[in-house]
Amino acid sequence: MEKSVNKAVAFPKIVIIGGGFGGIELAKRLRDKEVEILMLDRHNYHTFQPLLYQVATGGLEADSIAFPLRKIFKNQKNFTFRVTEVEKIDQTAKTLHTTIGEISYDYLIIATGSETNYFGQKEIEHFSMPMKTIPEALNLRSMILQNLEEALIENDHLKKSSLLNFVVVGGGPTGVELSGALAELKNHILPKDYPELSIDAVKVYIIEGSPAVLGAMSEQASAKAKQFLQNLGVQVYTNMRVVIYDGMSIKLSDGQSINTKNVLWSAGVKGAVPEGLTSGQITRGNRIIVDEFNRVKNTNNIFAIGDVAAMITTDLPNGLPGVAPAAIQQGKKLASNLIRIINNEPPEAFRYFDKGSMATVGRNLAVVDIGKIRFQGIFAWFVWMFVHLMSLVGFRNKIVTFVNWVWSYFSYDRGTRLIIRRFNRQSMTEDPNAR
Amino acid sequence: MEKSVNKAVAFPKIVIIGGGFGGIELAKRLRDKEVEILMLDRHNYHTFQPLLYQVATGGLEADSIAFPLRKIFKNQKNFTFRVTEVEKIDQTAKTLHTTIGEISYDYLIIATGSETNYFGQKEIEHFSMPMKTIPEALNLRSMILQNLEEALIENDHLKKSSLLNFVVVGGGPTGVELSGALAELKNHILPKDYPELSIDAVKVYIIEGSPAVLGAMSEQASAKAKQFLQNLGVQVYTNMRVVIYDGMSIKLSDGQSINTKNVLWSAGVKGAVPEGLTSGQITRGNRIIVDEFNRVKNTNNIFAIGDVAAMITTDLPNGLPGVAPAAIQQGKKLASNLIRIINNEPPEAFRYFDKGSMATVGRNLAVVDIGKIRFQGIFAWFVWMFVHLMSLVGFRNKIVTFVNWVWSYFSYDRGTRLIIRRFNRQSMTEDPNAR
């Protein structure tokens, strides 16, 4: 195992865990450098997370927001890729324990991103649906469609409403985009596909703990997003927390309960930290403490970038936002810093350039903040689409996504509402025996 | 359950089991007729089976060869659809036992198509991969890609070759198309994605029991297809049967063994007959015996169309070929015959119009027989693409598939080589716990 993964070369060996935005940018920037790069990921593809909600709601095929990692680096001579899970980092021995054996490194880059945070609420974790990976988005799609099918043949009023109430927990960009997409599914697809169901029987809720949805954006963007959601028919609850969810009924902090089998959890993320770091290296949100060179605390050859890294500065006491541009900028900077470090030159401090933020609620409805410039509505929506289309990896994916979006725009339709793998409610995952 | 499925109407109730080519054509043709149609399928989508091999080999996304059944009939007032599995037909009570309860019918149409036939060889069934449904094609895709990944880190020569030998059993159109696509994957994708693997280490075999591949087509088409396959580097074995396969090594009738973990089974199909028919109603290939009006033997209100039906005539002693045009033509004729029967008019005998047959081996390589006209090569390939593109249900699917094909043509690339659901070799299905 060891032999075939660790080639005998003289160049420093850089191991990158994770093929997200940060990891890819870093490896690309090291293209012609005298280093040996090994990227590890548990998937053989890069996931474009910002569009997962469209996969979950049947607007896009999974394949158009994923891109084979090998293909990105197909002509890069100093790059090797392996599908594996990292079980543990051994900082002393400078090795990784993985599902394909032990792998040594000279420099280790942790670019593992974030995972769903249930804040220790085990029951909610079991019964609600996350949406951070493509299999999770596909499970969600199957669950939504199966519950609509089941509602058709359910005569018990309470059981029927539990199948038709959709509760999105968390009012960040993911929650807003998901609840908006569900409302559009209700408004445009349901009347055509399920004429037997009353459209009023379907309800979409969004539950946010803070006073506003999109709290990280401008007040203007928050207010407009709320209004857009309400116009689409979404019930927006702010200053509201989930107390408990037992798979049948979700209890909120004001005492009310919503009868539902569809709870979609987008209320928080935490760093996806591999085993082998010390508690002193971890901070709030399970993120890895790094200095201004992205170097992990108390190490000199381990770095972390992107969502999993917490670069706390006086300007940014909470670290950087968990968005693609922050990961990409860190990957870019770390590439040049690694070369400096290898050449015994001093590294340069990372500076974050805030490109602004945006979110889409639905057709013609988006909000954009770029510095002091704020705009909302149809133009913001076109900007949102353009930026996301351009950020997708691969020309084929751009074209296929563009075709789907143009198609949806003119037809008010979503093309891919298919239950490809049946969802099993007992195991809360797809049914492997479904044919 | 019963209440919501069986509405109280005066029109005759026609229940169609299966949303394939035949079932869809039949239901469409009954659009404005005074009947109540209920279609049942275990999937909520129609599968375009002729292109499953492209999904399996990463050329197309699954979503572009599937189409939501509800969407096809979205404005058809006399049509209802349910996702369910039929457990049993009760011919006497005129009811179906299903997973969503009991359903009554006045006329029953069995349009359940065919399933993989292992001819009773249980061990082969367990260890080899079928490709009749979208989940199966996706499992196959994951298995192929995972075995390539595994080969990279395998140092044992025998184990490595077992991961890199691909054996397609069955030389009909599916087997020919699948082995051709695997050869193209080897020739064009492997050198780019897996530069560490020697291209010569990968071998593709096709095993056919009869003297020729594409035996149902003209001698010219058979010979040319064999030559095309050989030019692509496929080892073509004719007059050869599989004796046994234990998951590691496949033994052939001439005594030789091939060390392989990739056996793709396309050597036969049989009718997917629901429970509740008598043995006297079934014939060779597990098909349902029907008369020239598609009426099931010994019944007056049950019909079968498409692959599951055996319409034996003096002209066609083996019944009709299991192809889409035969199912579509039967669906069309049965629609008018059902109306005749309901109106107490005599039904008209079905006449099959043979539109010809075709198969593709690879880029610029296809064979076409239309009556006495036979041609092969690049023009045949364009005809094949045009016919398949036009037969795909839905404009969006046509466009997305067209984009993928144009893209592949110019880039020699296959866009979607993603392991979205990991394949588990123990259970021979995907791993439900993979994230």
Q: What is the pLDDT of residue A12?
A: 97
- CATH at A98: 3.50.50.60
**Average pLDDT of span A262-276:** 96
Q: Are residues A175 and A36 in the same domain?
A: no
Question: Which residue in B42, B75, B429 is closest to A432 by CB distance?
Answer: B429
* CA nearest to A169, candidates A178, A159, A160, A158: A178
Q: Which of A342, A373, A388 lies at the terminal end of a domain, its last residue?
A: A342
Q: CA A228, CA A377: separation in Å to the nearest integer?
A: 9
Q: Which residues of B touch A272 (CB under 8 A)?
A: none
Which residues of B are known to be catalytic?
177
pLDDT higher than threshold 70 for residue B4: no
Q: Which of A149-158, A399-408, B323-332 has the lowest mean pLDDT?
A: A399-408
Q: Would you call A395 and B403 a contact, using CB atoms and an 8 Å cutoff? A: no
Closest CA of chain A from B243, distance in Å? 27
Residues B99 and B23 in one domain: yes
Question: Between B399 and A433, whose confidence is greater?
Answer: B399
- Tokens representing A51 are 């569009």
Would the pLDDT of A305 be above 80?
A: yes
Last residue of a domain, one of B283, B309, B342: B342
| Distance in angstroms (rounded) separating the CA atoms of residues B385 and A106 | 51
- HSE-CB at B283 with a 13 A cutoff on CA atoms is 15
Is there a domain that residue A167 lies in? yes
* Residue of A36, A177, A184, A208 marked catalytic: A177
Whether residue B328 sits in one domain with residue B417: no
* Within-domain flag for A387: yes
Residue B3: pLDDT above 70? Answer: no
Same domain, A105 and A129: no
Please report, for the domain that includes residue B247, its CATH number: 3.50.50.100
| pLDDT above 90: residue B261 | yes
A287: which 2 tokens? 């993120």
With respect to residue B196, please indicate whether it lies within any of the assigned structural domains.
yes
**Residue at A74 is within a domain:** no
Residue A95 Cα distances to A40, A106, A273, A343, B394, angstroms: 13, 9, 16, 23, 52
- Domain count for chain B, please give it: 2
Predicted pLDDT at B350: 97
For A110, residues 6+ apart whose C-beta sits below 8 A from its C-beta are: A17, A18, A89, A273, A274, A288, A296, A302, A303, A304, A305, A308, A309
Q: How close A133 comes to chain B (CA, Å)?
A: 7
Q: Which helix (H) or strand (E) holds A309?
A: strand A309-310
For A7-11, A21-25, B372-376, which range has the lowest pLDDT when averaged over its residues? Answer: A7-11
- Using a CB-CB cut-off of 8 Å, the residues of chain B touching A145 are 44
Let me know whether B220 and B312 are in one domain. Answer: no
Taking residues B275-287, report their average pLDDT. Answer: 96
Domain assignment present for B127: yes
Q: Write down the pLDDT at residue B346.
A: 97
Question: Is residue A77 pLDDT above 90, yes or no?
Answer: yes
Domain co-membership, A199 together with A285? no
The minimal CB distance from A420 to the residues B62, B145, B395 is found for B62
Query: Are residues A1 and B153, on separate chains, in Cβ contact within 8 Å?
Result: yes
Residue to mutate among B86, B416, B417, with most A CBs inside 10 A, is B416
Chain-chain contact of A83 with B146 (C-beta, under 8 angstroms): yes
For residue range A121-173, list pLDDT tens digits in order: 999 999 999 999 999 999 999 999 999 999 999 999 999 999 999 999 999 99
pLDDT of residue B1: 40
A51 has pLDDT over 60:
yes
pTM metric for this prediction: 0.91
| B145 in reach of chain A (CB within 8 A) | yes
Q: For residues B163-179, give the mean pLDDT.
A: 97
Measured in angstroms, the CA of A396 and the nearest CA of chain B are apart by: 7
User: Which domain, by its residues, includes A335?
Assistant: 2-42+84-116+270-342
Mean pLDDT of A273-282: 97
Which amino acid would we find at residue A369? D
CA distances from B314 to B39, B216, B320, B326 (A): 33, 18, 12, 17
CA A347 to chain centre: 30
Q: What is the pLDDT of residues A91-102, one digit of tens each?
A: 999 999 999 999
Helix spans in B107-218 (H): 122-127, 134-152, 157-164, 173-184, 190-193
pLDDT band at residue B117 using 50, 70 and 90 as cut-offs = very high
Q: Are residues A167 and A215 in the same domain?
A: yes
**Is the pLDDT assigned to residue B28 strictly greater than 80?**
yes
Helix (H) or strand (E) holding B373: strand B373-377
| Distant-in-sequence, close-in-space partners of A220: CB < 8 Å, separation ≥ 6 | A367, A369, A374, A376
A394 chain-B contacts, CB cut-off 8 A:
415
Query: Quick one: pLDDT at residue A1?
Result: 40
Stretch among A196-200, A238-242, A250-254, A288-292 having the lowest mean pLDDT: A196-200
Q: How confident is the model at residue A8 (pLDDT cuts 50, 70, 90)?
A: low
pLDDT digits (tens, 9 = 90+) for A326-335: 999 999 999 9
pLDDT surpassing 70 at residue A7: no
Q: Which of A422, A431, A272 is nearest to B431 (CA)?
A: A431
Query: In terms of Cα–Cα distance, which of A105, A129, A103 is closest to A116?
Result: A129
For residue A133, the chain B residue with the least C-alpha distance is B435
Q: Which of residues 355-374 of A touch B (CB under 8 A)?
A: none
- Yes or no, beta carbons of A153 and B196 under 8 Å apart: no
Q: Which tens digit of pLDDT belongs to each residue from A209-232?
A: 999 999 999 999 999 999 999 999
Q: Which two tokens stand for residue B83?
A: 């996702």
Q: What is the dihedral of CA B56, B61, B63, B67, to 10 degrees?
A: -70
pLDDT score of A224: 97
State whether A108 and A11 are in the same domain.
yes
- For residue B353, with 0-12 CB atoms within 10 Å meaning exposed, 13-18 middle and 19 or more buried, which class applies? exposed
Interchain proximity B192–A419, CB inside 8 Å: no
β-sheet with B242-245: strand ranges across: B242-245, B249-252, B257-259
pLDDT of residue B2: 42
* A420 to B66: CB separation less than 8 angstroms, yes or no: yes
Give CA–CA dist A396/B288, Å, rounded.
44
Q: Which of residues 389-418 of A touch B (CB under 8 A)?
A: 394-397, 399-400, 403-404, 407, 413, 415-418
Q: Does any CB of chain B come closer than 8 Å to the CB of residue A248?
A: no
Tell me if A316 is assigned to some domain. Answer: yes
In this structure, the answer to whether residues B262 and B288 fall within a common structural domain is no
pLDDT average, residue stretch A29-55: 96
Quick one: A260 and A132 in the same domain? yes
Q: Is the pLDDT of residue A294 over 50?
A: yes
Q: How far is CA B90 from the centre of its chain?
A: 28
CA–CA min distance B161, chain A (Å): 16
* CB–CB contact A83 B3 (8 Å): no
In a domain, B48, yes or no: no
A122-131, B96-105, B290-299, B410-419: the lowest-pLDDT one: B410-419
Domain match, A198 and A251 both? yes
Instruction: Tell me how close the Cα of B328 comes to any Cα of chain A, in angstroms.
Output: 23
Domain end marker among A281, A316, A342: A342
Those residues whose C-beta lies under 8 Å from the C-beta of residue A42, and which sit 6 or more positions away, are A83, A84, A85, B435
Interchain CB contacts (distance < 8 Å): A and B = 171
Chain A residues lying within 8 Å of B101, measured CB to CB: 153
Is B344 in CB contact (< 8 Å) with chain A? no
Residues A318 and A177 in one domain: no
Q: Please report the residues numbered 24 through 53 in chain B whose beta carbons come closer than 8 angstroms to any beta carbon of chain A.
A: 42-45
> How sure is the predictor about A336, in pLDDT bands with cuts at 50, 70 and 90?
very high
> How many Å lie between the alpha carbon of A359 and the closest alpha carbon of chain B?
26
Residue with tokens 């060891």: A2
Whether the predicted pLDDT of B206 surpasses 90 = yes
Q: Decide if pLDDT at A6 tops 60.
A: no
| Main-chain phi, psi angles of A68, to 5 degrees | -60, 125
Whether B187 is covered by a domain: the verdict is yes
Residue pair B268/B133 in contact (Cβ under 8 Å)? The answer is no
